[in-house]
Amino acid sequence: EEEEVKLALVQLIGELSPMKIGPSFGWNMSSDPCTDKWHGVSCDSKLQSVRKIVLDRFNLTGVLNATSLCKAKSLSVLSLNDNNVGGEIQQEISNCRYLTHLYLSGNRFSGNLPANISQLSNLKRLDISNNDFSNQIPDMSRISGLLSFLAQNNHLSGEIPKFDFSNLQEFNVSNNNLSGPIPHVVGHFNESSFSGNLELCGQPLSNPCPMLTPPPPKKESKRSSKKEFLIYSGFFVAGLIVAVIIAVKFLKKNLPKGEKTNVKKGVVDSRTDKSSGTSSEFKNRSEYSITSGESGKGSSSLVVLASAVMNGLKFEDLLQSPAELVGRGKNGSLYKVIVDEGVTLAVKRIKDWGMTRVDFEKRMERMDQVKHPNVMPIVAYYCSKQEKLLVYEFQHNGSLFQLLHESQNGQLFDWGSRINVAASIAQALAFMHEELRDDGIAHGNLKSSNILLNKDMDPYISEYGLMVVESHQNQSILSQSDSFKNNNPSKTRAYSTFKVDIYGFGVILLELLTGKLVQNSGIDLTRWVHSVVKEEWTAEVFDKTLISEGANEERMVNLLQVALKCINPSPDARPNINQVAIMIISIKEEEDKSLCSET
Ligand SMILES: Nc1ncnc2c1ncn2[C@@H]1O[C@H](COP(=O)(O)OP(=O)(O)OP(=O)(O)O)[C@@H](O)[C@H]1O
């Protein structure tokens, strides 16, 4: 450990006046807490920094100097159970940012539990039971990962503040002076968690609240809506199976004929293309196979959107220009097409899109009405029986995925730029969700390869609008424009696709923070981050280049907290995009402020 930390810890133990000091106790300036294994201290084996201090039943009698304690920056566990430590918990405890377990049970701590304990955003277990704490319990609802709050046998007063009871595994405030109604905890905690508070009322205690006290909100409706959701999901799945069977029969009948129709002279049929998904080879002509029957009306079928800079673009222009297959994704293949000198387009050939021509055209018109500077506009579209094409401007600076994972020229992607990218995407997504909520159109496939960088290296969300919405679903959403919170299964589906975007955005945040690849649709990265955070090694997740650049750890941890909220396995528990945008903008403002004060 560093000398400064060692000194602080020696000071800390001095103020706690331990009685049982033997030769193996350590805790002095002539030894090291990690290499010389001070009593009760565990260290991180790689970084050689103090992670745990456990001094239970040591007859400690003094006070806890939080300033000294938190000099040990990587401290995650402090356990001083069953001693005689007194005085208040100083508010400097909030500097122990990586603290996950704080066990202070069975001491003589008194006064308030400081309000800024809520800044310990990594805290999982807090045990202050069997002390002399008084006054109100601070609001700790900001600590999203809190699993235990044990505060029985104190003198705490006032009402029970907000907690996420569905997340808590342990909760006990029995034998205090708390008053007022108990929040809705039925099903999570029983009477023993609340007994011994004369003025507490409502379930699970047997004394009902007086009529004037508003009863705690009931959760029955949510449960029944969940039940209905499951029932409707069942119908939906069954319907889907029937639809697939019909579609397969229909395709078997019709597809061979359609596929065998002549391919326009000079146009390469995609089925003969053996290139892997990322061929850089130029083809003389484009690969979009239109049938000879359609080629005549090709030019009239390409709709160049009014707002596009590409006036006068013809379908022939696309066909006759050299095209390069850039990649094949979930939604189809993407070609780079150089139409004219200085004009390069990206043409997306959409595969298997279960949308009628009319719906497709409607969708394109709608997308043309909703514009945001960080959402890639559609230049043109083409629609025939066999083919659906979308035309975008080609972005030479590539995607966020490439910048993070494939950048070979050591391109610097510093913390400031990463937070700017995160804030811009969040704001753009918030705008799109707001505008297209009633249409039920979320992105549906948000990932770092769909975030492109324009010539100023500003992010562009690409492929917004490709998500398929069933028409009856559309209808139901339009007829109830307000919110998605009702039991209609199709609305629930659209609502959940918006929540899928939140998940996708959370994974992008994880990529920005860790610099690591997602793999397997995000599962590996999210699992890894969860496991590291669970093991209380939060600082280990961050991209090493950010650490060596000296990026502010507190703000990185704050952004990580946002990401973890977004990737919550339960869609309902994820925040909405407005909440996400607000959280990220406030982190960005902090960052901007700190830059101003530095210069
Ligand atoms: N307008 C564009 N300009 C430059 N590159 C683009 C453009 N649009 C997409 N790309 C890049 O082309 C590659 C292939 O894109 P494509 O959208 O087909 O696949 P994907 O994003 O990997 O998958 P998906 O089909 O699921 O979106 C990706 O690397 C993507 O970043």
ipTM of this predicted structure:
0.97
More confident call, 124 vs 240: 124
* Residue with CA at minimum distance from ligand 1 atom 23: 329
Q: Mutation test of ligand 1: which of 328, 334, 378 has the most ligand atoms closer than 8 Å to its C-beta? A: 334
User: DSSP class of residue 64?
Assistant: -
Q: Mutation test of ligand 1: which of 449, 460, 507 has the most ligand atoms closer than 8 Å to its C-beta? A: 449
Per residue in 239-272, pLDDT tens? 333 344 433 343 333 333 333 222 222 222 222 2
What was the pLDDT predicted at 351? 72
Which residue, chain included where needed, has tokens 């139901």?
A: 476
What was the pLDDT predicted at 419? 95
For 367, the 3-state DSSP assignment is helix
Euclidean distance between CA atoms 269 and 349, whole angstroms: 13
What ligand 1 atom has the least distance to the C-alpha of 392? 1
The letter for the amino acid at 270 is S
More confident call, 326 vs 276: 326
What was the pLDDT predicted at 458? 92
What was the pLDDT predicted at 106? 94
pLDDT tier for residue 308 given thresholds of 50, 70 and 90:
low
What ligand 1 atom has the least distance to the C-alpha of 393? 1
pLDDT tier for residue 320 given thresholds of 50, 70 and 90:
confident
Q: What distance in angstroms lies between residue 497's CA and the mean position of ligand 1's atoms?
A: 21
pLDDT above 60 (res 60): yes
Euclidean distance between CA atoms 145 and 565, whole angstroms: 10
User: DSSP class of residue 32?
Assistant: -
More confident call, 381 vs 251: 381
Adjacent-strand bridge partners of 291 = 263
Q: What distance in angstroms lies between residue 406's CA and the mean position of ligand 1's atoms?
A: 14
Cβ distance 462 to 450 under 8 Å?
Answer: yes
More confident call, 42 vs 352: 42
pLDDT tier for residue 353 given thresholds of 50, 70 and 90:
low
The dihedral region occupied by 395, where left means phi > 0, alpha psi between -120 and 50, and beta the remainder, is beta
Q: Mutation test of ligand 1: which of 270, 333, 338, 450 has the most ligand atoms closer than 8 Å to its C-beta? A: 450
What ligand 1 atom has the least distance to the C-alpha of 452? 31
Residue 256 to residues 115, 259, 261, 385: CA-CA distances in angstroms? 70, 5, 9, 14
Per residue in 137-155, pLDDT tens? 999 888 878 889 999 999 9
Adjacent-strand bridge partners of 158 = 178
**Type and span of the H or E element at 320:** helix 315-320
* Residue with CA at minimum distance from ligand 1 atom 25: 329
Q: What distance in angstroms lies between residue 334's CA and the mean position of ligand 1's atoms?
A: 6
User: DSSP class of residue 137?
Assistant: P
What ligand 1 atom has the least distance to the C-alpha of 376? 1
What was the pLDDT predicted at 432? 96
Query: Of 262, 273, 290, whose CA–CA distance to 325 is shortest?
Result: 273
Euclidean distance between CA atoms 330 and 338, whole angstroms: 24
Query: Of 304, 321, 430, whose CA–CA distance to 377 is shortest?
Result: 304
Q: What distance in angstroms lies between residue 420's CA and the mean position of ligand 1's atoms?
A: 22
Burial label for 483, CB within 10 Å (0-12, 13-18, 19+), is: exposed
The dihedral region occupied by 62, where left means phi > 0, alpha psi between -120 and 50, and beta the remainder, is beta
Residue 101 to residues 1, 83, 114, 169, 507: CA-CA distances in angstroms? 21, 17, 16, 14, 27
pLDDT tier for residue 523 given thresholds of 50, 70 and 90:
low
CB atoms within 10 A of CB 498: 23
* Residue with CA at minimum distance from ligand 1 atom 19: 329
Strands 50-54 and 41-43: antiparallel
* Candidate from 91-105, 142-156, 292-306, 364-378 with smallest mean pLDDT: 292-306
For 539, the 3-state DSSP assignment is helix
Euclidean distance between CA atoms 450 and 398, whole angstroms: 10
Which residue, chain included where needed, has tokens 């395709």?
A: 251
For 321, the 3-state DSSP assignment is coil
Cβ distance 381 to 365 under 8 Å?
Answer: no
Alpha-carbon 71 to chain mean position: 30
- 514 Cβ neighbours under 8 A, 6+ residues apart: 525, 529, 541, 542, 543
Q: What distance in angstroms lies between residue 324's CA and the mean position of ligand 1's atoms?
A: 13
What was the pLDDT predicted at 598? 61
What was the pLDDT predicted at 451? 97
DSSP string spanning 377-435?
Answer: PP-EEEE-SS-EEEEEE--TT-BHHHHHHT--S-----HHHHHHHHHHHHHHHHHHHHH
Query: Of 509, 483, 492, 374, whose CA–CA distance to 429 is shortest?
Result: 374
CA dihedral 156, 160, 163, 165 (to 10 degrees): 110
Long-range own/partner contacts, residues 583-589 (CB < 8 A, 24 or more apart): 583/558, 584/419, 584/422, 584/423, 584/426, 584/559, 585/423, 585/426, 585/427, 587/419, 587/555, 587/558, 587/559, 587/562, 588/419, 588/420, 588/422, 588/423
What was the pLDDT predicted at 290? 33
Q: What distance in angstroms lies between residue 565's CA and the mean position of ligand 1's atoms?
A: 27
Cβ distance 129 to 113 under 8 Å?
Answer: no
Q: What distance in angstroms lies between residue 521's CA and the mean position of ligand 1's atoms?
A: 16
Euclidean distance between CA atoms 491 and 499, whole angstroms: 12
First to last CA, the chain: 32
For 78, the 3-state DSSP assignment is strand
pLDDT above 50 (res 378): yes
Backbone angles phi, psi at 113, to 5 degrees: -85, 115
Q: What distance in angstroms lies between residue 284's CA and the mean position of ligand 1's atoms?
A: 21
Which residue, chain included where needed, has tokens 């309902």?
A: 572
* Residue with CA at minimum distance from ligand 1 atom 31: 449
Backbone angles phi, psi at 235, to 5 degrees: -60, -45
What ligand 1 atom has the least distance to the C-alpha of 396? 4
Residue 392 to residues 17, 349, 403: CA-CA distances in angstroms? 71, 11, 20
Per residue in 171-199, pLDDT tens? 999 999 999 889 888 778 888 999 999 88
CB atoms within 10 A of CB 35: 10
Per residue in 409-423, pLDDT tens? 545 789 999 999 999
Cβ distance 348 to 390 under 8 Å?
Answer: yes
Q: What distance in angstroms lies between residue 463's CA and the mean position of ligand 1's atoms?
A: 9
What was the pLDDT predicted at 411? 57
Highest mean pLDDT among 31-45, 228-242, 357-371, 447-461: 447-461
Euclidean distance between CA atoms 495 and 12, whole angstroms: 52
Backbone angles phi, psi at 52, to 5 degrees: -130, 140
Euclidean distance between CA atoms 276 and 326, whole angstroms: 10
Residue 316 to residues 284, 301, 426: CA-CA distances in angstroms? 14, 11, 38
Task: Kindly state the tokens that stand for 137.
Answer: 């319990």
Ligand 1 cavity residues, CB under 6 Å = 326-327, 329-331, 334, 346, 392, 394-395, 399, 445, 449-450, 452, 462-463
More confident call, 184 vs 222: 184
Q: What distance in angstroms lies between residue 194's CA and the mean position of ligand 1's atoms?
A: 56
Strands 125-127 and 101-103: parallel
**What's the whole-number average pLDDT of the chain?**
77
What was the pLDDT predicted at 381? 87
Q: What distance in angstroms lies between residue 280's CA and the mean position of ligand 1's atoms?
A: 14
* Residue with CA at minimum distance from ligand 1 atom 1: 394
